[in-house]
Amino acid sequence: MVEIPGGEIVLRDEGTRTEWKVGVGPFRLDSCPVTRELYDAVVSRMPEVHGMTEVPEGSGVSASGAGPRAPVTEVSWRDAIRFCNLLSRVEGLAPCYSVGDDPDGSDVVCDWRAGGYRLPSEAEWEYACRAGTPGVRYGELDEIGWYRANSDGGAHDVATRAPNAWGLYDMIGNVWEWCWDVYDPAVYGPYRVFRGGGWNDHPRGCRASCRRKSHPTLRVDDLGFRLARTV
């Protein structure tokens, strides 16, 4: 995982044309999205893990038939939360999440002080994606990301495009990535944020500031996740 220094980020919602500043403490972020290989290997160990009562779903199969080093897709926000807890237990770390039965995820509580794996917050995600750069992307899109014009209709192996200045790959393009945050509870209820753009998106969707959202049970073929840990 990459050590990300603390700082500040200004988030912007283009729909409401509002901006807000968020302080970000130091944290760790995986250099790549979770791969099908890692996801399947960890989930297969579930019977050996004490206290894991619900297995994450998602086949990890992309529409293009991508291989084991491609990002896992067709995993919901709830699947990603459960996977974080499972991997934490496999590695002997304190899980971050308490998870209930509500499909909306309203009963999921995050202990930000725990040492285990978690999803990044939306502010952490964009702060890490930008890596100190002010532009809409940290490089030329064809060089840093897989998107509609160059993906040939599917996800690609991770770390096959150029990284940003902090050594993070696929922050733009390849697959969208779930974040912890609720998008706008007053308007969209339990919908959670995802970021980064995917292999089927036009350039407008592949920008550091682009925000999208869906229900915590959504599973689609261009949406995965990346692991974070609190320092």
Non-local CB neighbours of 92 within 8 Å, separated by 6+ positions: none
Q: What is the pLDDT of residue 156?
A: 96
Stretch (H or E) spanning 117: none
Of 132-136, 155-159, 201-205, the range with the lowest mean pLDDT is 132-136
pLDDT over 80 at 217, yes or no: yes
Confidence of residue 55 (pLDDT cuts 50, 70, 90): low
Strand-strand pairing, 223-224 and 176-182: parallel
Q: What is the pLDDT of residue 61?
A: 41
Q: Can you tell me whether residue 209 is helix, strand or coil?
A: coil
Q: Measure Cα distances from 115 to 4, 76, 84, 89, 227 in Å.
A: 16, 23, 11, 11, 12
Q: Measure Cα distances from 3 to 27, 34, 35 in Å.
A: 6, 17, 20
Q: What is the pLDDT of residue 50?
A: 41
Confidence of residue 49 (pLDDT cuts 50, 70, 90): very low
Q: What is the pLDDT of residue 108?
A: 97
CB neighbours of residue 149 within 10 Å: 11
Non-local CB neighbours of 125 within 8 Å, separated by 6+ positions: 177, 179, 195, 196, 226
